[in-house]
């Protein structure tokens, strides 16, 4: 079975071209950027409501679910890896098990989230320390979205499995269809039916459930899985389940560091008032858009680095570094320039509340700085992923988190919105500086 991601030719002694690099990067950019676009639309839709607290409530509600789901990102990553191995061995039975085992785990964990929904919500609201009006809206959003948890985690598994089989177009179709449906339902439920924050939550749950049926349709239609090969008792064998969890241990710890930073940032921002919270929510959505766009190039670099190490071609590895630097720098400069020139127009898209827009414009300089400070960290994470060196990524982001915490402690309880974004920038720059120190380690280990 031939992966569409290996369509670009690779010959010893040949130069991996910019065109070949973009052939890998563009589909990955489209796939990745669909997720933050959805978050941006959520924010823009509730930004049309007259109450600024609605923007903050959706942002805080999204942080709760991002926290839960990001910690379980290994469901997608490990499923992709295990499926690729089974596919390479042409083992149809293991290919099926690589999908079914994490599916059961996803349903179990998602159901556990539903059972524990009240304590999770209470703990989240306590940590955020929000006003009563924002807290009530967060509770409304959360109590609806939590019912989509098993489906959201199942979608991780299905996307990872399709990627592992090299069915990138099918995984991309699933993601885009889900997000387009979510956006359409957002507009319908909030702007037409007037359901407010609840409408945003309903739209997300319906889209998450629909994505599972779309993925299952692809599986059945293309006959990608043969259930007749499966003895159901082997699905719950301990050893394979433990292996599945261990595959991405260091990436799991990396996610924890990211989430500690994000939750800390959001919690402090929530205590600065509803206007500041809403402005921060808008800037964070812009940051996600930039990060996912740059992440498409990082994923392409990961593929090229993996090829270079597998074929022991050091020149190809160096080529991957140069391509990452070129396209990362070009994209970062373009994004910074767009923010510098069109900041007010961009913020107008997100909200019609003048007070919130003015606060966002005042903080907008940090979104001019972010791409320059952070693009190389994102590219390096892709390079280290291709080299399967998750330990270095884990260590570097831990040190960056320490730098972030130190800045927060220095400013203390009287921290201002600009000082909060300075701490975010220190974290971003720290990821770049600390991970750069490990590049020679890849060269020594693999070449």
Please choose, from the candidates 132, 35, 22, 52, the residue with its C-alpha nearest in 3D space to the C-alpha of residue 355: 52
Q: Tens digits of per-residue pLDDT, 242-289?
A: 666 665 678 778 888 988 898 899 888 888 888 888 888 889 888 988
| pLDDT recorded at residue 84 | 60
Q: What is the pLDDT of residue 1?
A: 35
Sorted by sequence, the CB contacts under 8 Å of residue 444 that are 6+ apart come out as none
Whole-number Cα distances in Å, 136 to 66, 118, 119: 19, 14, 15
- Give the residues of the chain that fall short of pLDDT 50: 1-11, 13
CB 148 within 8 A of CB 106: no
Ranges of each domain in the chain: 13-34+250-447, 74-247
pLDDT at 393: 87
pTM of the full structure:
0.70
pLDDT digits (tens, 9 = 90+) for 183-201: 899 999 998 998 989 999 9
Cβ within 8 Å of residue 429, ≥6 positions away: 373, 374
Query: What pLDDT shows up at residue 273?
Result: 85
């Amino acid at each position: 079975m031939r992966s569409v991601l290996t369509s670009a030719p690779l010959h010893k002694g040949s130069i991996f071209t910019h065109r070949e690099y973009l052939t890998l990067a563009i589909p990955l950019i489209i796939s990745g950027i669909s997720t933050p676009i959805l978050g941006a639309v959520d924010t823009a839709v509730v930004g049309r409501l007259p109450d600024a607290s609605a923007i903050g409530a959706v942002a805080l509600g999204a942080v709760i679910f991002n926290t839960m789901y990001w910690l379980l990102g290994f469901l997608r990553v490990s499923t992709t890896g295990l499926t690729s191995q089974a596919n390479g061995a042409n083992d149809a039975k293991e290919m099926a098990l690589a999908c079914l085992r994490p599916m059961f785990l996803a349903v179990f964990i998602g159901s556990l989230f539903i059972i524990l929904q009240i304590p999770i919500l209470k703990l989240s609201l306590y940590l955020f320390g929000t006003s009563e009006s924002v807290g009530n809206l967060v509770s409304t959003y959360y109590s609806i979205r939590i019912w989509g948890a098993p489906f959201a985690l199942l979608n991780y598994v299905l996307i990872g499995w399709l990627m592992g089989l090299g069915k990138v177009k099918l995984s991309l179709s699933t993601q885009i269809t889900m997000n387009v449906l979510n956006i359409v339902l957002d507009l319908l439920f909030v702007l037409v039916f007037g359901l407010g924050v609840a409408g945003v939550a309903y739209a997300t749950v319906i889209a998450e459930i629909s994505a599972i049926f779309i993925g299952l349709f692809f599986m059945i239609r293309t006959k990608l899985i043969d259930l007749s090969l499966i003895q159901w008792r082997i699905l719950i064998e301990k050893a394979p389940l433990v292996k599945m969890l261990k595959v991405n241990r260091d990436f799991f710890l990396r996610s924890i560091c990211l989430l500690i930073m994000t939750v800390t940032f959001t919690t402090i921002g929530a205590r600065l008032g509803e206007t500041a919270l809403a402005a921060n929510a808008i800037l964070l959505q812009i940051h996600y858009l930039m990060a996912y766009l740059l992440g498409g190039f990082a994923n392409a670099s990961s593929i090229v680095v993996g090829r270079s190490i597998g074929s022991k071609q050091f020149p190809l590895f160096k080529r991957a570094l140069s391509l990452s630097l070129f396209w990362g720098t070009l994209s970062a400069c373009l994004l910074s320039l767009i923010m510098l020139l069109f900041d007010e127009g961009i913020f107008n898209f997100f909200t019609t509340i003048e007070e919130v827009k003015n606060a966002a414009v005042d903080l907008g300089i940090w979104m001019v700085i972010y791409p320059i400070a952070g693009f190389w960290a994102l590219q390096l994470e892709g390079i280290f992923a291709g080299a399967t060196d998750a330990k270095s990524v884990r260590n570097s982001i831990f040190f960056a988190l320490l730098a972030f915490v130190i800045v927060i402690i220095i400013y203390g309880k009287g921290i201002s919105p600009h000082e909060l974004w300075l701490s975010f920038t220190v974290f971003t720059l720290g990821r770049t500086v600390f991970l750069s120190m490990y590049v020679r380690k890849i060269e020594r280990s693999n070449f």
